[in-house]
Amino acid sequence: MNPELKFTDVAAELYAPQKRKDDLKGFEYTYRAEITSIYPLTEMETLYRIQVVDPEERRRFAFTPGQFLMLEMPGIGEAPFSISSSPSIHGEVELCIRKVGNLTNFLPRVKRGTHVGIRGPFGTGFPMQNMHGQNVLLIAGGLGLVPLRSPIAYVMENRSHFRDVNIIYGTKNPSQLLFTYQYEIWRKDDIDIEIIVEKADKSWKGPSGLITDPLEDILSGRDSEYYHNTYAIVCGPPVMFKFVCNMLNEFHIPMQKMFVSLERRMHCGMGKCCRCNVGSTYTCLTGPVFDYWTVMNLKEAI
């Protein structure tokens, strides 16, 4: 018998029938995408609009609110970012990115038209359809408004499916407020919006305090019918969502109807690098969106 082993090419066509070739190829596949617009929002954050180049791929690239993608700039870095735009537009996403490290500092320097690689979408999203016929509280602190813009867009496009919708958004100081130009548009869609800053400055005319202040006002004016028929999406730093969710809980909104998005270090988005683990749960697979009951039961979560 010939004692020479034959080489098996897992990328070859012949290998495909048994072993899901497409899955294997998908692992490192990046959509080529173009940065079509770069819009500085604050000193630290910039909004990028990114479009998948190939029309066929563009059609296929769909996501649900709450999901994230991996954005790659060759040689500079690859990192996860929440998709911050309407899920009804395929193959085009908006990302709002804060300058904190290698990739995020490089991106504001590139020109419109630059090509990047994107992988994904990854992770779980907010169960928007389950919320139909219900009241929705959309609560964000700081950069948390970024992932919240996708469910906000969904709610606006499907406004008739929802009852009362409140957005509550807070930052440390007024200069950190994101998407200030959109608040009026949201209001026009019969969405109630409360903006609050922790430290007001001279220019600030709105209320100042903690995000739980307007939340308490909204909740205390309601009855149990409201509490039983309300969903909450809470995005922001852990301390913030902990306080917010505790307050929601005091008003007997069930923990399974509160959703938060967790952030951890990520290098793959596919349950392989283990960097995103909370206790022993993969944030990239089982999250980043979790209901609060699950979060309470995760070791290391808050």
Ligand X SMILES: Cc1cc2nc3c(=O)[nH]c(=O)nc-3n(C[C@H](O)[C@H](O)[C@H](O)COP(=O)(O)OP(=O)(O)OC[C@H]3O[C@@H](n4cnc5c(N)ncnc54)[C@H](O)[C@@H]3O)c2cc1C
Buried b (16+ CB within 10 A) or exposed e, 103-141: bbeebeeeeeebebbbbbbbbbbbbbeebeebbbbbbbb
> From the list 101, 175, 180, 246, which residue makes contact with another protein (rule: CB under 8 A)?
101
The two most distant CA atoms of the chain are separated, in Å, by 88
> From the list 98, 210, 229, 247, which residue makes contact with ligand X (rule: CB under 6 A)?
98
- Within 10 Å of residue 163's Cβ, how many Cβ atoms? 13
Distance CA 22, CA 160 (A): 40
Site of interaction with ligand FES (CB under 6 A): 266-269, 271-276, 282-284
- The candidate with the shortest Cα–Cα distance to 27, out of 222, 267, 209, is 267
Could you tell me which stretch among 92-100, 174-182, 223-231, 294-302 binds ligand X (CB under 6 A)? 92-100
Contact string 262-291 vs ligand X (x = CB under 6 A): -xxxxx--------------------x---
| Cβ proximity to ligand X, 135 vs 171, nearer residue | 171
26 binds, among ligand X, another protein, ligand FES, none (CB under 5 to 8 A by kind): another protein
Contact string 134-173 vs ligand X (x = CB under 6 A): ------------x---------------------------
Distance CA 15, CA 210 (A): 58
Q: Which residue is nearest to ligand FES (CB)?
A: 284
Distance CA 107, CA 115 (A): 11
| Cβ proximity to ligand FES, 66 vs 170, nearer residue | 66
